[in-house]
Amino acid sequence: MSSFAAASLTTTTTTTIFQKKKQRIFFFSNNHSLSLSLLPRGFQTTYINQRIQNDDDDGSVIDGSHRPRFCSTSTPTPTPTPKPNSNSNSNNKLLTKLRRYGISGILSYGLLNTVYYLTTFLFVWFYITPAPGRLGYAAAVERFLKVMAMVWVGSQVTKLVRAAGALALAPLVSRRLIWFTEKFKFESEGKAFMAIVGVCFGLALLLFFWVTLFWA
């Protein structure tokens, strides 16, 4: 008698579980237009067991209960490809062409840089941000640093123009470098190049130091 009651209780419990699972499975299969009520009971049981097994395998059991999963059908937005900087590419192309002239191309670019820094420094110092003399050494140095910062920003803006100008002047600079090497009897064009670079740096440093010291 007790065995019969236990079997009856087990059957009732199993039927209740299947009924609950059936409702849940019907929720999932609603999108497929599949109604479990139209299927034979044997197929219902097989379908329910299969869905329960799939849910248990993919970890959809949360806190002891099965919860529906929703999958996003939206198409991911492609990441836009950054556009290359045209000014940077143009500048790199000009510098590549300039390197073909060797030290003559480098010297051409360096001479234009020297002219730019000297003229722009004097223009900014006297006309853009004029200041009275006798500032004191600390104030004069601070003013020098601010002016050089402005000159450097301007050099970034005009870099493409200076590179184009240096490329145009490179053939002339090459001929002048040969003449300078022979005129002053340098052993090679490389030594003549180093001498010219030293003169450019010395002239720039002397001008910057003199102006700053005079305003101190």
- The H-or-E segment that residue 49 falls in is helix 41-57
Q: Is residue 34 one of the residues assigned to a domain?
A: yes
**50 and 146 fall within a common domain:** no
**55 and 159 fall within a common domain:** no
**55 and 136 fall within a common domain:** no
Q: Which residue has the higher pLDDT, 38 or 180?
A: 180
Q: Is residue 2 one of the residues assigned to a domain?
A: no
Q: For the chain, how many structural domains are there in total?
A: 2
Q: In angstroms, rounded to a whole number, what is the distance separating the alpha carbons of residues 36 and 46?
A: 11
Residue 116 · residue 158 · CB < 8 Å: yes
- The H-or-E segment that residue 190 falls in is helix 189-215
- The H-or-E segment that residue 146 falls in is helix 137-157
Q: Is residue 115 one of the residues assigned to a domain?
A: yes
Share of the chain above pLDDT 70, in %: 59
Please check the confidence at residue 209 and state whether its pLDDT lies above 80: yes
Task: Write out the residue range of the structural domain in which residue 191 sits.
Answer: 86-215
Q: What is the pLDDT of residues 36-91, one digit of tens each?
A: 455 555 555 555 556 555 554 444 444 444 444 444 445 556 565 555 556 667 77
**105 and 54 fall within a common domain:** no
81-90, 102-111, 128-137, 186-195: least confident range: 81-90
Number of Cβ within a 10 Å radius of residue 52: 17
Write out the E strands in the chain.
61-62, 65-66
Tokens at 191, concatenated: 């030594």
Q: What is the pLDDT of residues 84-111, one digit of tens each?
A: 556 667 778 877 888 888 999 999 999 9
Residue 162 · residue 109 · CB < 8 Å: yes
Q: Which residue has the higher pLDDT, 123 or 7?
A: 123
